[in-house]
Amino acid sequence: MKSLWLAALLMLAACASAPPDLRAKVAQDIKDDMPPVPPAGRLFSRVDISHDGVADWRVDYERSGMGWCGTGGCTQKLFVSRPGGAYVLAFEEQTREFRLRRGRKGAVLDIEIHGTNCGLSGVNECRRSFRWDEAQGRFIEQSNRQGEGRLAGPLFQTIPVADTGLPTIVEVALGELTAACTGLGGDYVGGVVSRSPDLDGDGRPDWIVGSEYGGCVMPAAEPGGEATQLPGPGLRVVAEDAAILALVSPLYAVDVATTPATFISITPAEDCGGYDQQGCMETPYRWDPAFGHLVAGRAVRGRSLRLE
C-alpha cells in the first residue's frame, strides 16, 4: 500500500508542470510581448477534460498582458492529452468568460464571446457551451446554460479550420462554389469552411461551406475603382462522404437543441433585416434517413437578418 501511495505522489509530481514542448510553444507566442515577459509556465493551469487520469492544460494569455486581450476578451487555449503522451490543441479563442465543469463523460466548456459570433454587435452577450467527445477528440456544440441551442452562422469554431488537409468532399464543394462564381465573371473570395454539429444523424460532425462573409466579386475595371458584388454562389452542407444540401442563400443558423441538429436556411426579403424590421424567412431542414438528405420544413418568419 505504501509503495502505491509513493507511486501516486511521484506521478502527481511529474505532472505538476506542463510538458516542455507545450511550454516552448507558448514561450514562442509571448516572446515579443511588452516586457517584462513572464515565464511561459506561469500561464498554464492543470485541468481535467478527457477524464483519462492524465493532466490536460489550460493556457490563460491574460496573465501575459493586455496584448492578448480585446473586445472579445482574452485568449485562452486548451491542450488535451492523447494516448502515447501527445497533446492536441482543443480550443483557441478570445473569451470574456471561461468556465470548465465536469460532465458525465468529459468536461463541459461554457464561454461568453464577442457578440458577432451570435450575429450581433461586439458589446452584446454571446454564450456558447460545448461538451468534450473523447471518441472524436474534440469539443461538440450543445445548448448553452440558458437553454439556447440556436447558433448563428458562420459557426463559432473552437479551433480554426485549417486551409489545408480538408476532406475531398469539402474541396469539391469549394470548387463548385468557385466555378459558379467564375461562370458569372467574378472571383470567389472568403470561402468560409465551418465544422458543423451532426446534421445527418451519424454521430459525427459535418461541414458547411460558404457563408455571408464569402462572396462573388467582379474586380474593379480600373486601378482605384470599386469591385462589384455579384449574386451567389450560395453554400453547401457536406457530410463525410456526400453533399447533403445546396442552397442559394449564404445566410444560415444551426439549432443543436434537436438531435440531429437542425439546419436553418435564412432568405433575405425586401422588408427584413436590421433591429426594427421584420425577420427574414427561415426554412428548417431536418435529416431524413429514407431520402438520405436534409428535407425542408415549413418556412416561417425569423428573428431578423442578423439571426439573433
Contact predicate 268/278, CB 8 Å? no
246-259, pLDDT tens digit by residue?
999 899 999 999 99
Decide: 115 and 122 in contact? Cβ < 8 Å: yes
Torsion of CA 89, 307, 228, 214, to 10 degrees: 20
Distances (CA, A) of 300 to 33, 146, 191, 208, 258: 50, 24, 28, 22, 18
Residue 207 pLDDT > 80: yes
Mean pLDDT score of the chain: 87
CB distance 28 to 37 below 8 Å: no
Give the model confidence (pLDDT) of 214-239 as tens digits. Answer: 888 888 777 777 778 888 788 999 99
pLDDT surpassing 70 at residue 163: yes
Percent of the chain predicted with pLDDT > 90: 61
pLDDT at 110 over 80: yes
Q: How confident is the model at residue 271 (pLDDT cuts 50, 70, 90)?
A: low
C-alpha distance across the termini of the chain, in Å: 58
Residue 266 has pLDDT above 60, yes or no: yes
Q: Please tell me the predicted confidence (pLDDT) of residue 16.
A: 61
Q: Cα–chain-centroid distance for residue 144? A: 14
Q: How far apart are CA 120 and CA 87, in angstroms?
A: 34
What is the average per-residue pLDDT within 105-131? 92
Q: How confident is the model at residue 276 (pLDDT cuts 50, 70, 90)?
A: low
Which set of grid coordinates corresponds to residue 288?
Answer: 431524413
Lookup: cell for 84: 502515447
* DSSP output for 7-46: HHHHHHHHTSS--HHHHHHHHHHHTTSSSSPPPGGGGEEE
Dihedral angle computed from the Cα positions of residues 70, 72, 75 and 81, in that order, rounded to the nearest 10 degrees:
180
| Distance of alpha carbon 154 from alpha carbon 171, whole angstroms | 18
Q: Which of 116-130, 143-157, 172-186, 209-223 has the lowest mean pLDDT?
A: 209-223
Mean pLDDT of 104-113: 93
Q: Three-state SS for 118?
A: helix
